[in-house]
Amino acid sequence: MRVDVPLAKAYLLLNHGPVTLVSSRAGERSNLMAASWAMPLDFDPPKVAVVIDRSTLTRELVDASREFALNIPSRALADATLGLGSISGRSRDKWADFRLTAMPADRIGVPFDRQRNEALRGVDRMNSLLLLLGENAERFTAAERESLCTEKNAEYVRIIERVTPQHLLPGARELLENLRASGIPVVVASSSKNARQVLERLGILPLLKAVVDGNDVAAAKPAPDLFLLAAQKLGIAPDACIVVEDAQAGVVAAHAGGMRCIGIGPLERVGKAECVVGSVAEINLPMLVSLNGR
């Protein structure tokens, strides 16, 4: 059957590739937009064309910086991708609205992917940089590595300023409130030296007994020092404490300190924990009591 298609709509039949996300930045301004008109042009050197309307903020930023990143969103970002294409970055902070984060990793010529990112969980500032650099670490002097740490932290602090209580993982506040109502104290023990600032932005500091972070100990995870100091602040023996962790280094640190552990995430990352769940929302008081054996 032959169907007439208006020429103005004929592109819908040709543009069958994935919807992309175009991230851009110029100075202190940044934006993220959905773009359907993207296509490869050549193999070597690789070239790609993206249509970005002149009236958009993204086009303004790209014209100013002469660069942008083209991202292929996963299925998990389907709703966010639809939302990003429905509002303007001139009036809204899309990064904050959709809880997305930009990472300028390739600026230093070091590949960065999800696998490398997973390895950085729970690791302190300098060691996370060394893990990120990997075999490229020797390209940088000690002073350059320190400078990269400082720059990376400055970018992280800038991102923290966009954090709100809405960024709490589902079930986190409810769990903390239930523990508080049951008289069970909670300490956050984080390798990050910015932990207190993040917790303050999330609005959960009043629900905590104390905060222990990278400023308080010399040895970060996987050493047990953070957790042992947390137990000391609680006035509780380490073997009576339960650690909730989403990082392999954290699980190792918990066991090194003689504590039981609930791991959040895939088995390949936290499978050595005594109990493994998929999310914070799955953790409840009976689970903690059972794990503690009391």
| pLDDT tens for each residue of 124-144 | 778 777 877 777 777 788 888
Query: In the predicted model, what is the mean pLDDT of the chain?
Result: 86
Among 53, 70, 54, 65, CA closest to 18: 70
Using the predicted structure, report yes or no on whether residue 123 has a pLDDT greater than 80.
no
Element (DSSP H or E) covering residue 276:
strand 275-277
Using the predicted structure, report yes or no on whether residue 281 has a pLDDT greater than 90.
yes
Confidence of residue 114 (pLDDT cuts 50, 70, 90): low
Look at residue 109 in the predicted model and tell me its pLDDT.
59
Rounded Cα–Cα distance for residues 173 and 170 (Å): 8
- What are the C-alpha distances in Å from 280 to residues 80, 169, 176, 202, 292? 22, 7, 11, 15, 18
| Contact by Cβ (8 Å): 190, 213 | yes
Mean pLDDT of 180-202: 93
Among 193, 240, 231, CA closest to 209: 231
* Per-residue pLDDT tens over the stretch 232-266: 999 999 999 999 999 899 999 999 999 999 999 99
Mean pLDDT of 216-241: 93
Contacts of 105 (CB under 8 A, 6+ apart): 112, 132
Mean pLDDT of 183-192: 93
Confidence of residue 103 (pLDDT cuts 50, 70, 90): low
What is the residue extent of each domain of the chain? 7-94, 105-160, 165-292
Rounded Cα–Cα distance for residues 119 and 265 (Å): 13
Look at residue 15 in the predicted model and tell me its pLDDT.
62
* Two structure tokens written together for 53: 């309307």
226 vs 119: which has the higher pLDDT: 226
Which CATH fold topology does 7-94 show? Pnp Oxidase; Chain A (2.30.110)
Into which CATH architecture does domain 105-160 fall? Orthogonal Bundle (1.10)
* Two structure tokens written together for 287: 């689970």
Among 60, 101, 100, 63, CA closest to 83: 100
Domain 165-292, CATH among 3.40.50.1000, 3.60.20.10, 3.30.450.40, 3.40.1440.60: 3.40.50.1000
* Two structure tokens written together for 106: 């390739």
Q: How many other CB atoms are there within 10 angstroms of residue 148's CB atom?
A: 18
Q: For the chain, what percent of residues have pLDDT higher than 90?
A: 42
Q: How many other CB atoms are there within 10 angstroms of residue 252's CB atom?
A: 18
